[in-house]
């Protein structure tokens, strides 16, 4: 068994978790998607939960890297934040991390829940840091609460996914992002110390 097989198993589990959730994903489906033999999962992982933990951790790491790259770029903090909120997403598939919170079996397992909880907390913290930077540079008014606003931004994104999936259209997600950016613009000062 090669590490290539393990990587295919992790990637297949990642895809299936996003499509079906943990409860709806069987080991057989993972093996079929990966094109792997019946014993290969147990050669590399102790079982479905162990494989899922690796898959969720990989998805969480990818989400963090993508978000951090956008939020850490050059230019005014509000521009970076806007670019992050408006970036291309597979809206109708939902959030690959946030969507897992709807899976009762996954959330009941502390080891599987941990990367989900940690990633959402990291995102709130990272957004709060960018908002604090915007306040410090004079882009946003000092009355803006970075932590509360970051929580509202994450809630808007997650809720936007739910609304879009319910309607079968990305439009509600786009409206939610436009709405929260409109609310944020009320704190714009029109100046920047940067």
pLDDT at 73 (0 to 100)? 86
Q: What residue ranges of the chain have pLDDT lower than 50?
A: 1, 192-194
CA proximity to 54, closest of 12, 26, 4:
12
Q: Domain extents for the chain?
A: 57-185
Torsion of CA 40, 46, 49, 51, to 10 degrees: -40
Q: CA 147, CA 125: separation in Å to the nearest integer? A: 7
pLDDT at 194 (0 to 100)? 44
Question: CB–CB of 99/136 below 8 Å?
Answer: no
Contacts of 118 (CB under 8 A, 6+ apart): 60
Q: Which fold has domain 57-185?
A: Tetracycline Repressor; domain 2 (1.10.357)
pTM exceeds 0.95, yes or no: no
Q: How far is CA 153 from CA 6, 63, 64, 141, in A?
A: 36, 16, 16, 17
């Amino acid at each position: 068994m090669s590490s290539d097989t393990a990587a295919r198993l992790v990637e297949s589990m990642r895809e299936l978790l996003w499509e079906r959730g943990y409860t709806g994903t069987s080991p057989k489906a993972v093996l079929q998607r990966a094109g792997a033999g019946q014993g290969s999962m147990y050669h590399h992982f102790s079982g479905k939960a162990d494989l899922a933990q690796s898959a969720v951790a990989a998805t969480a790491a990818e989400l963090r890297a993508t978000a951090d790259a956008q939020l850490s770029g050059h230019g005014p903090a509000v521009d970076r934040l806007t670019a992050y909120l408006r970036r291309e997403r597979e809206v109708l598939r939902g959030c690959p991390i946030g969507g897992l919170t709807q899976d009762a079996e996954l959330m009941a397992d502390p080891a599987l829940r941990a990367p989900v909880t940690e990633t959402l907390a990291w995102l709130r913290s990272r957004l709060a840091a960018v908002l604090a930077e915007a306040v410090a540079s004079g882009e946003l008014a000092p009355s803006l609460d970075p932590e509360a606003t970051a929580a509202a931004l994450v809630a808007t994104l997650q809720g936007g996914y739910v609304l879009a999936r319910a309607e079968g259209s990305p439009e509600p997600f786009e409206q939610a992002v436009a709405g929260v950016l409109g609310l944020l613009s009320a704190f714009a000062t029109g100046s920047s110390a940067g």
